[in-house]
């Protein structure tokens, strides 16, 4: 039993898609979300920059007493997770990688598409998993150009978002993809727009949210770190962004729950 929080890190607000899944699946667990915000997007940055930013952010979460760290960012996972595991061998880490396997196992057309940042598509884990299915499945790779910025601005229902999504997704569907794997934690916020663009075509959008929750639960058991059943979870938020960024982060996190409840829980750290 351990009531310490789970730390969840992302370059910005995208990791809140993972935060929401974990909060729902593991309602006893306290969570600290750290969205860098000031240096987002990470996707086009150099390997060394991403590594440095991720190390700094994880150190902050560990200083807060987190018992486990979820790198809710495919890009940071691709660059930094192995290094972090070596630095902190006693801390369980969960990373994000594109859900290639379920897509490859269920495709009917034999073609799947993976959408991610340029840096995440270079990640060893992704390359390794893709190679495993390369003989049986055609894997198309595409960068969601502009997607991260649109989500950071909270404009995922705008005309610009629809144009950006259409220009990335249409060519993939034309090439036969019937599964679109979201390999960036910002992209699930664009899912409704993607589904509108897909329309009634037989194309499924797949993200990693559920798989990450299963892995977190598994590690909590393995390390005997579950919070006491029925305990009141605390949700805290940290960012390097400004006050406006912090407010928008809270608003996105809580989505439809009352503002008062959100205010009770929030902690500013910018």
Q: Which residues are catalytic?
A: 73, 184
Measuring CA to CA, which residue among 26, 46, 187 is closest to residue 122?
46
Q: Which is nearer to ligand DGL, 61 or 225 (CB)?
A: 61
Q: In angstroms, what is the minimal distance from the CB of 163 to ligand DGL?
A: 19
Residue 213 CA to its chain's centroid (Å): 11
Q: Which is nearer to ligand DGL, 255 or 258 (CB)?
A: 255
Closest residue by beta carbon to ligand DGL: 43
Contact 213, 26 (CB under 8 A): yes
Q: In angstroms, what is the minimal distance from the CB of 34 to ligand DGL?
A: 13
Q: In angstroms, what is the minimal distance from the CB of 118 to ligand DGL?
A: 9
User: For residue 74, what are the contacts with CB-CB under 8 A and spacing of at least 6?
Assistant: 96, 97, 98, 116, 117, 120, 123, 126, 183, 184, 185
Q: In angstroms, what is the minimal distance from the CB of 236 to ligand DGL?
A: 20
Q: Which is nearer to ligand DGL, 41 or 209 (CB)?
A: 41
**CA distances from residue 233 to 67, 92, 159, 228 in whole angstroms, order as listed:** 14, 20, 38, 10
CB burial of residue 41 (10 Å; 0-12, 13-18, 19+): buried
Q: How many CA atoms lie within 13 A of 146 on its CB side?
A: 14
By the criterion CB under 6 A, which residues form the site for ligand DGL?
10-12, 14, 40-43, 73-75, 96, 117, 120, 148, 184-186
Q: In angstroms, what is the minimal distance from the CB of 15 to ligand DGL?
A: 6
Measuring CA to CA, which residue among 70, 137, 73 is closest to residue 101?
137
Q: Which residues pair with 34 in a beta bridge?
A: 9, 238
Q: Which is nearer to ligand DGL, 45 or 179 (CB)?
A: 45
Q: Which is nearer to ligand DGL, 120 or 225 (CB)?
A: 120
């Amino acid at each position: 039993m351990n009531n310490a929080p789970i730390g969840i890190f992302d370059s910005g607000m995208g990791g809140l898609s993972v935060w929401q899944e974990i909060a729902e699946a593991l309602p006893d667990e306290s969570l600290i979300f750290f969205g860098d915000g000031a240096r987002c997007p990470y996707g086009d940055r150099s390997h060394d920059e991403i590594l440095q930013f991720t190390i700094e952010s994880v150190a902050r979460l560990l200083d807060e007493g987190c018992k486990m760290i979820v790198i809710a960012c495919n890009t940071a996972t691709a660059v930094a997770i192995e290094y972090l595991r070596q630095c902190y061998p006693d801390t369980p880490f969960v990373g994000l990688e594109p859900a290639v396997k379920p897509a490859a196992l269920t495709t009917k057309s034999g073609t799947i598409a993976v959408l991610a940042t340029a840096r995440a598509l270079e990640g060893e884990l992704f390359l390794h998993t893709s190679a495993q299915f390369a003989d049986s499945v055609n894997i198309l790779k595409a960068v969601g150009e502009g997607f991260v910025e649109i989500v950071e601005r909270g404009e995922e229902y705008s005309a610009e978002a629809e144009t950006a999504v259409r220009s990335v997704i249409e060519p993939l569907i034309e090439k036969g993809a019937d599964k679109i794997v979201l390999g960036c934690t910002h992209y699930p916020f664009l899912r409704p727009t993607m589904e509108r663009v897909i329309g009634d075509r037989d194309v499924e959008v797949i993200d990693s949210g559920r798989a990450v929750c299963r892995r977190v639960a598994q590690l909590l058991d393995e390390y005997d770190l579950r919070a006491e059943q029925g305990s009141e979870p605390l949700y805290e938020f940290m960012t390097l962004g400004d006050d406006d960024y912090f407010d928008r982060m809270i608003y996105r996190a809580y989505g439809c729950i009352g503002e008062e409840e959100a205010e009770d829980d929030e902690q500013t750290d910018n």
